[in-house]
Structure 1
Amino acid sequence: MTIRLDRRHFLMGSSALIAAGAAGLRPAFAQGNNLRLIFWGGQDRADRTYKVADLYAEGGGAQIDGEFLAWNDYWTKLATQVAGGNAPNIIQMDYRYIVEYATRGAIRPLDQFVGGPLQLGDFDQDQLEGGKVGGQLFGISLGANSVAVLVNETAFEEVGVAPPNRDSTYDDYMAMGEAFNSANIRGGIKAISDGSYTEPMLDNWLRQQGLSLYTADGQLGFGEEEMVEWFRMWQGLREAGVCVSAEDQALDTGAMESTMVIMGKSATMPSNSNQLVAYQSLSQDSLTITNYPRIEPGAGGGHYRKPSMFFSVGGDEANAQAAAEFISFFVNDPDAAQVLGVERGIPCSAAVREGLAPTLDEKSQIALNFVANLGDLLGPLPPPPPPKAGEIDASVLRVIGQEVAFGARSPEDGGKAFVTEATALLTGA
């Protein structure tokens, strides 16, 4: 079941969440004995999720009523439901939002269920820690992943140049882009999509310089100089025709089907390791993944193993234990693991991972091996983003990034404006 909302500004969803926090958790509308699940993703993820829900119900568990949306629509819908006292029982949660939802009382701590309804005995410790806020467990990681570049291998073969690899730099992408422009295949497909307002790509670029998107105390970990440099770099790629035009990039609404690689606008784009399987299901070309570009030869440390997403518990307290039982089944059951594969990331249970690995198809093996072999690219997991991080991503970085891309702002003005507006949100000024 897919439910979509009209396009709304992120701030509407944020305001709804604030209202929910003021009132605390409120009972969900009556759903009998069924549990409600909400998640973001494409059709492939939905098919896998609903099949696992069916397995659970067939084994005597609760019936799961699910809905899924594209990323851009998801957070507004979720915040509106929470504010209206209609929070789903099981909520797919992201690392950048978990602090905000936990601190506002919109999701429940799960510690009381661990060792009972919720079995996590052989879970990776770093994945457990990633789901904690203030020392309490608010999210169960559904898989470990890392940011990655999605690569259309077939397009690179048509151009006659090697696709990017783990040593490729931003300068190398400039050279690849020039080769694509000269070949002029597929109506002028570009080498890379516009990543200038993609938060994980900015974060990775900063981490390679020893900086961070946010500090442990919830402030910006960089300044105006870096933000201006970031926008200038992408302006150079845009002006050289290496990355897609602002007009083409604006076609990406957040749904996988509207992304630049799937639409045939670019041969690479920022993605996540766990998304390779789903993207391959949408393309007849051969796709693979590699790491984000290095800022210079030998630079590393920008990547980290993060919880790809969590399941958190919302809704009424009476169904909290039942929700925890379903989550435990989702992350531990061997048959569920066979259905889910690595579409949401590498399983966090050692036993599940060991049983699943030999059965994976080629693309799933690529995703698993990528996360397991980051080498010098790997750095430490950053602290959870501050409560305003989601708002900064959606209503500051994306808006200003688009304004720079369309020429409404210069990189200098955009960099200054971003730091000013983000700082104001973080400090409450």
Structure 2
Amino acid sequence: MSRKVLLYFLIILLLLIVKTEVAVVSNNNITISISWWGSQVRHNKTLAVIELFERKNPDIKIQPVYTGWREYWDRIAAYAVGGNLPDIMQQDYKYFNSYVDYNILRDMDDYIDSIIKVAEVDEALLESARFDGKLYGIPAGLNTYTILYDPKKFAEAGLTEPSYDWTWNEYKEICRKLHERLGIYAATSLPMATRNITGLEHYVRQHGQSLFDMSAHKLGFTEDLFVDFYKMDLELSREGVFAPGELRLENHTIENDLIVKDAAVMAAYWTNQIVAISKAAGKPLKMLPFPQAKDETRSGYYLKPSMYWTITKNSKHPEIAARFINFLINDLEANKLLNGDRGVPISFDIRQKLQPMLDDPERKMFNFIKYISNNSSIIEPPPPAQYDQVIEILEEVHYKILEGSQTPSEAYQELRMRTDRVLK
């Protein structure tokens, strides 16, 4: 989602009355469209699933629209402005509120059980896509975040691989030793601290706080936690243990991540991305949880739908769109092709059948999700519609910290002042 997206949304309500043919009927074939973001690995897998569906349903054609994460939201916003949203849209938990608030998504309750079979799906997962009692999406998979690391680099450095119960202090010392002994970065940054709010979210949750307060009109965490988190990142950046700010700006895709280039030992990602990044790196990677806090009051971890499949109000053939969504979550052949790319499948039956067929990265992902399911706390409600603006403000003040023009305390004051205006 871009900086311009909220502006786009203001005129969407006017444009939705324009009749635009999103699904076209020609030569007795129905064509629907679907959009998603992701790496080239995801693109290839999803295209293979589309081909499989079309073979099984020769009267239906699916037009794909796909790109990377950053470009995706700009493109979707442009489609929304033109009244040309795809029939099926891959949606993110963080932005769900925005699309529901602006009346862009179709209520999917009418298709549950009649078309989309959810008997093997945990009801709590479906509840995460309900707003005001209406279901607006189907989870594409189950997901959380992790630290991926190269075990060979630990061996080269003469270090024992960390345990799952490591602390932030242990993490910092290990990072220093990796940098000192190998002469490369331990990681690009503190886990998910750059161009991301998940690292900070995890840290404040460990201390019993949250990103936003109950009203969602103010930040929900105190200055001391913000300062502690970004002081750790700044400290290790100044020591050369983490990459400098200018290098972080370049390091925003899987393909050019420092761990892929053999220039870092660790990298923080969502668990479902282990398949793509292991392939890009050309080496096996292992998974670790984010470190624990010494004075932790609850686990910072939560499980979430990796993303959702939604049907837009532009769709002329929502029943056909629902059929393809059902295929994505309940067809075994389709899930063999996807192989956990969008997270652990939401269908218990599919999970059970896939387990013996998993490759090494997928097996690690399934096992890690199982571990976190027993060591997590409840996910917060979806963030406010202005979430994207909050991330942009955070990114700006974080880079000011890295370049030395603001202290972490000054950055917090600016963050709170600006977000108070945005969220009111």
TM-score bin (small chain): over 0.9
Would you say the 8 A contact 2:185–2:242 is kept in 1? no
Could you say which residue in structure 2 is the equivalent of 1:367?
365
1:376: Cα distance to partner?
6.0
Residues paired across the two proteins, number: 415
| Counterpart mapping for 1:317-332 below 5 A | 317-332=315-330
Match for residue 54 of structure 1 among 35, 51, 54: 51
Could you say which residue in structure 2 is the equivalent of 1:176?
174
In structure 2, the CA distance between the partners of 1:299 and 1:259, relative to structure 1 (3 Å rule), is farther
Could you say which residue in structure 1 is the equivalent of 2:27?
none
| Counterpart mapping for 1:322-401 below 5 A | 322-374=320-372, 377-393=375-391, 395-401=392-398
- TM-score calculated relative to the size of structure 2: 0.92
Moved more, 411-420 or 302-311: 411-420
In structure 2, the CA distance between the partners of 1:299 and 1:292, relative to structure 1 (3 Å rule), is farther
Could you tell me how far apart the structure 2 residues matched to 1:69 and 1:347 are? 22
In structure 2, the CA distance between the partners of 1:20 and 1:257, relative to structure 1 (3 Å rule), is same
Task: Give deviations 1:63-96, integer Å, cap 9, x for gaps.
Answer: 1111221111111111111111110111110000
Q: Which portions of structure 1, spanning 4 or more consecutive aligned residues, are displaced by more than 3 angstroms?
A: 21-31, 297-300
1:15 matched to 2:7? The reply is yes
Could you tell me how far apart the structure 2 residues matched to 1:67 and 1:50 are? 10
Would you say the 8 A contact 2:204–2:211 is kept in 1? yes
Q: 2:398 is aligned with what amino acid? A: G
Would you say the 8 A contact 2:139–2:307 is kept in 1? yes
Could you tell me how far apart the structure 1 residues matched to 2:72 and 2:185 are? 30
Could you say which residue in structure 1 is the equivalent of 2:237?
238
Match for residue 290 of structure 2 among 285, 288, 292: 292
Would you say the 8 A contact 1:152–1:287 is kept in 2? yes
Could you tell me how far apart the structure 1 residues matched to 2:374 and 2:348 are? 24
Could you tell me how far apart the structure 2 residues matched to 1:115 and 1:152 are? 44
Task: Give deviations 1:379-421, integer Å, cap 9, x for gaps.
Answer: 112111111112212x211222122222232212111111111
1:160: Cα distance to partner?
1.9
Q: 1:148 is aligned with what amino acid? A: T
Could you say which residue in structure 1 is the equivalent of 2:224?
225
The alignment partner of 1:369 has SS state of helix
1:180: Cα distance to partner?
2.0
Could you say which residue in structure 2 is the equivalent of 1:190?
186
CA root-mean-square deviation: 2.0
In structure 2, the CA distance between the partners of 1:31 and 1:108, relative to structure 1 (3 Å rule), is closer
The alignment partner of 1:346 has SS state of coil
Task: Give deviations 1:305-360, integer Å, cap 9, x for gaps.
Answer: 10000111115242222111110111011111111121111111111111111111
Could you say which residue in structure 1 is the equivalent of 2:259?
261
- TM-score calculated relative to the size of structure 1: 0.91
Would you say the 8 A contact 2:37–2:66 is kept in 1? yes
The alignment partner of 1:74 has SS state of helix
Would you say the 8 A contact 1:120–1:349 is kept in 2? yes
1:114: Cα distance to partner?
0.9
1:298: Cα distance to partner?
6.8
Gaps of 5+ in 2: 25-29
Could you tell me how far apart the structure 1 residues matched to 2:303 and 2:343 are? 10
Q: 1:102 is aligned with what amino acid? A: V
1:280: Cα distance to partner?
0.8
Would you say the 8 A contact 1:154–1:287 is kept in 2? no
